[in-house]
Structure formats: structure tokens, C-alpha cells
Amino acid sequence: MKKLWLGFLLASAAFAAAQSADPAAAFNRGVFYFNRGEYSLSVWEFTQALGLNPRFIQALNYRSRAHFYIGNHDQAVADYNEALRLNQALSESFYARGARYFEAGEYYQALAEFAAALQHNPGFAPAHNGRGLVYFRQQEYGWAFRECTLALRLTPALAEAFYNRAAAYSRRGDHERAALDYNEARRLNRITGETAFERGNEYFHDGLYDQAAAAYSESLKLREKDPRALNNRGVAYLRIKAYNLAIADFTEALEVQGAYAEAYNNRGFAYRFIGEIDRALADSARAIALNPSYALAFFNRGAAAYLKGDYDQAVRDFTEALRLKTGHDSAVFNNRGNAYLAKGDYSRAVQDYTEALRLNPRFADARFNRALAYHYSRDYRRAAADYEALLQQAPDDADTFFLWERAAAGAPLP
């Protein structure tokens, strides 16, 4: 009856090392690795370049982007802040930082950065296009159309703006104009694997997982064996419960880029759902070995350990996930509470469920699990109160009603 919340991530990472005594050479190698999606290697090279030339703004910008793709968001923003400190008039730095905020879902900050880019360079079309993307994500399709049109007036060959305006047309129901803009983007030969990949991300964000998988497939036709597209298509398959297809994609991504922590983590997630718990544990462990600060990998290994009955390991992994911050603390507290509950440590279980509810008062699973913990510890009054709160949300839940009756009568769990 205990319930688990399980998660996964879209991202990419790789690990390696190199050295250089020439900042330009290190920078060029960093760009090479960045374009291949080997972001940890690129961070290393850009760091080498900056060690030799601390004012190398392009290296700061690229390193920030690489940090973001790895998941090091604080370092990403710190690098852009340093680039802006070195050259406040550099519109590209404002734009790039806005793009990172956009990808992190921090839309108001993204709009502020794009506005700053335009303040320094009113003719900077990518910033208008960026604002259009923010408005699109906020479902302000009229404003998205306006910004993309402004971008195209400034740079008529900006295929990304045609593509984004096509998306705005489509959401407004003007499919004919959407098709014209999309075809123009193709004519400009800029519907590349990257554009199709980004379209897949948009579909995924909107919950259109079948369309996302199709867009990632289109990206893979244009850019064969791109590990990011394989990984993200695998995650889309996870969302539609096509677990074997997901596993095949994660496996192929790992064949292309062996040091890909997110693909290991995501494949472990899929293995868990088909009951391959040992494989799930092994993949989570590989992800952690590649990235010891990967909170979600600890979270998912803890979930697999719980299903295997290794509750002590589950507690350790969930505790580490809380320390590293997954962004889903309420779920992690709930799951650690489940591990404590399974160990018979009802007091700690109650503490964790209570913290989960403090973070998310409408977290029904945590309230149900806390009711069970109270019930097991024979605190019938508090158990009945939690069951009653759940019945107010779902009055026809027969199982909860049965448990409420027992608790109210001072009867233990059957």
C-alpha cells in the first residue's frame, strides 16, 4: 500500500580530461567537445583556457552552456555573470544567460535578460526570438508571434524565428500559415537535427509525448546517433510506458557516448518498471560513479533498493538525494519515509511524511503513508484524522474508508 514517486531527467554529460598551454587551442578543443555533446570534457578545456586567460569571454559563455547541460545551473549563471562583469555591453552574454534561464523555466528572468540584450543592441534579432519563445511557453501566442516577426524583420534569414512563429500560428489554429513558415525554415536549410531536437523538447514540455518521440526520430534522421536525441526519445517512450523501446534508445546512446550518466540513470528507471531491479541498481550505480553529485541517480537507486528490500541502502540514498537537492524534496521525503516505515521505524517515517506535507500540503500519497505510520504505531486518533482528510478529497475511496473505520474504532491494521 506504500507508494513511491519516481523521476527521471532530460540532460546529457560526459567525463574526461585534457590539458593545454594555449588558451585558443584549449578553447577550440572545448568547442569541439561541446558540439559533440561531451559537455564535461568541454568544461575541462574551457577551464584550461580561462586559467591561461581569465578574460576569455567566449570561453566563459561556452563553459556556462556546458555547465547548464550537465545540470550545474549555479555554475552556469556564475560564468555568465563573470562574462557580463568583464563586458557589460556584450549582448550575446545577456542573450545566452536569458537562454539558460529559459531552459531552466525561469521565464521572468529570461525576459529581463533578453530585454537587457536589446537595450545594448536593439538590432539583436536572437533576443526578440528568445522573447518569442518565452511568450510561447507562457501561452501568450500573440506576443510570441509579434516577437518572432520583429526578429525576422531584423534578420530575414533567421530560420529559428520562422520555426517558432510557425509554432505560434499552429497554437492559434492558423495551420496554413504555420505550414508556410515551417517550409520557409526548411528552405533556409536550417531545419537541422538540432532544430528537430528542440521541437521534440517543446512537445515533451507540453506533454505531447508521441509527437516528441516523432520529432526526436526526425532529428536522428538528420543527425544519426545523436546521444541526446536517443536519450530524450527514450524518456518520451518512458512517459508512454514503452519501456523496451526506451531501454533500446538508452542502450544505443550509451554505445555512442559511454560516459553518459543521464542515460544510465534513465535506463535504470526503465529497468525498474519492467522488474529488472538488479539491472536498475547497476545502472544507477554507474550514473553515480560518473557524476557523484547526481541527485536523481541517488533518488532512483534508493527507489530500486527499496523495491529490492534493502531499506537501509534506500535510506542512505534518499538522504544523499536530499543533501544534493533533486528539486523534488517532497517526493524524496515521502520515499525515505516509506523506507523507514518498512524498517518499522514509525517515528522517523512520520517525521519524513510530515516534512513532505509541509513542502506540498496536497501530497495525497504522503498523507496516506503518514496515516499508515500512525496506524502501525497505534496512534489511532492521528491516523483517523489523516484518513478523514483524504476522504474529503476522494470520498468514494473504499480502501481509505475501511482504514478510517478501523482507526476510528481503535482497531489495528489487518
Residue 297 lies in a domain: no
- End-to-end Cα, the chain, rounded Å: 12
Taking alpha carbons only, the member of 68, 97, 70, 67 closest to residue 82 is 97
**Pick from 41-50, 142-151, 291-300: least confident:** 41-50
Task: Decide: helix, strand or coil at residue 190.
Answer: coil
pLDDT, residue 160, reads 83
Cβ proximity of 78 and 95 under 8 Å: no
**Pick from 209-223, 298-312, 319-333, 341-355: least confident:** 209-223
Cβ proximity of 190 and 222 under 8 Å: no
More confident residue, 124 or 296: 296
Residue 357 lies in a domain: yes
Residue 244 lies in a domain: no
Taking CA atoms, 212 is separated from 147, 230, 287, 400, in Å, by 25, 12, 25, 38
Residue 382 lies in a domain: yes
Taking alpha carbons only, the member of 154, 140, 137 closest to residue 198 is 137
Taking alpha carbons only, the member of 154, 89, 84 closest to residue 126 is 154
Kindly report, residue by residue over 331-355, the tens digit of the pLDDT: 999 999 999 999 999 999 999 999 9
Residue 350 lies in a domain: yes
Taking alpha carbons only, the member of 102, 108, 104 closest to residue 129 is 102
Domains of the chain: total: 1
Chain centre distance of CA 45? 25
**Pick from 90-94, 188-192, 236-240, 280-284: least confident:** 188-192
Identify the DSSP state of 189.
T
Residue 359 lies in a domain: yes
Taking alpha carbons only, the member of 21, 99, 20 closest to residue 64 is 99
Residue 227 lies in a domain: no
**Which domain covers residue 390, as residue numbers?**
330-414
Residue 266 lies in a domain: no
Q: Please report, for the domain that includes residue 396, its CATH number.
A: 1.25.40.10
pTM for the model stands at 0.59
C-alpha span between 251 and 265 (Å, rounded): 11
